[in-house]
Amino acid sequence: MNLNIRSGKTRTLTASFHSDSNPPPPSPRSLLGRRPFLGLFGGALGALALPGGGAWAAGSSRTTNGLESGSVGYFLFDPDSGRALEEQAADTAFIPASVAKLPTVAAALALLGPDHRFATRLLGTGPLEGGVLRGDLILQGGGDPALATEGLLQLLGALGAAGVRQVEGRFLYDTALLPELAEIDSGQPWAAPYNTGVGALSLNYNRALLNWRRGGTPAGPDALTVADAGRLPLDSVTVRPMAMGGGFPLLPDGVDRWLMAPPSSGEAGGAWVPVARPGLAAAMLFRRLAADAGIALPAPVVGRAAGGAAGGAALAVLDSLPLAELARGLLRHSNNLSAEVIGLAASRRLDPSATTLDRSAGLLQRWLTRQPVGAVNWSGSWNGLRLANHSGLGTGSRATPRQMAALLQAGGPALWDLLPGEEDGKALPPGVHAKSGTLAYVKGLSGLLTAASGRRLGFVLFIADPARRAAMDAALDRRVTATPAEARAWAAGARRLQGEILERWVSTY
Phi and psi torsions of 44, nearest 5°: -65, 145
pLDDT at 378: 52
Is 185 contained in some domain?
A: no
388 in the same domain as 487: yes
- CATH number for the domain spanning 307: value is 3.50.80.20
**Domain count along the chain:** 3
446 in the same domain as 372: yes
Q: Report which secondary-structure segment, H or E, holds 82.
A: none
Domain boundary among 252, 276, 300: 276
Distance between CA 102 and CA 79 in Å, rounded? 15
pLDDT at 23: 36
9 in the same domain as 124: yes
For the purposes of burial, counting CB atoms within 10 Å of the CB of 236, is it exposed (0-12), middle (13-18) or buried (19 or more)? buried
Is 471 contained in some domain?
A: yes
- List of residues 6+ apart from 119 with CB closer than 8 A: 18, 19, 20, 142, 144, 317, 318, 319, 320
Q: In this structure, are strands 137-140 and 119-124 parallel, antiparallel, or unpaired? A: antiparallel
Domain boundary among 287, 319, 351: 319
Domain boundary among 319, 346, 380: 319
Distance between CA 52 and CA 48 in Å, rounded? 12
Cis status of the peptide bond prior to 430, with omega within 30 of 0? no
Is 189 contained in some domain?
A: no
Is 94 contained in some domain?
A: yes
Is 197 contained in some domain?
A: no
425 in the same domain as 298: no
β-strand partners of 91:
none
367 in the same domain as 298: no
Is 455 contained in some domain?
A: yes
448 in the same domain as 356: yes
Range of the domain at 489: 32-114+323-508
β-strand partners of 55:
49
Distance between CA 111 and CA 82 in Å, rounded? 23
- CATH number for the domain spanning 368: value is 3.40.710.10
Is 334 contained in some domain?
A: yes
476 in the same domain as 408: yes
468 in the same domain as 378: yes
Q: Amino acid identity of 210?
A: L
Distance between CA 441 and CA 470 in Å, rounded? 9
Is 265 contained in some domain?
A: yes
CA atoms within 13 A on the CB side of 429: 20
73 in the same domain as 133: no
Instruction: Please state, as a whole number, how many other Cβ atoms lie within 10 Å of the Cβ of residue 308.
Output: 12
In SS3 terms, 423-440 reads as HHCCCCCCCEEEEEEEEC
pTM over 0.85: yes
439 in the same domain as 497: yes
User: In whole angstroms, what separates CA 88 from the centre of its chain?
Assistant: 29
- List of residues 6+ apart from 470 with CB closer than 8 A: none
Residue 289, CA distances (Å) to 100, 145, 231, 426 in order = 37, 20, 12, 36
347 in the same domain as 451: yes
Residue 286, CA distances (Å) to 6, 58, 111, 274, 341 in order = 19, 53, 32, 19, 21
DSSP assignment of 134-166 = -S-EEEE----TT--HHHHHHHHHHHHHTT--E
Determine the number of helices (DSSP H) and then strands (DSSP E) in the chain.
Answer: 10, 22
Mean pLDDT (10-residue bins), the chain, 509 residues: 49 29 37 35 33 36 54 94 92 97 98 98 94 95 98 96 94 97 97 98 97 70 95 96 80 95 73 97 98 95 73 90 98 97 98 97 96 52 95 97 94 96 89 96 98 96 96 96 94 95 95
DSSP assignment of 47-79 = SPBPTTS-B--TT----BTTBSS-EEEEEEE-T
β-strand partners of 129:
132
171 in the same domain as 153: yes
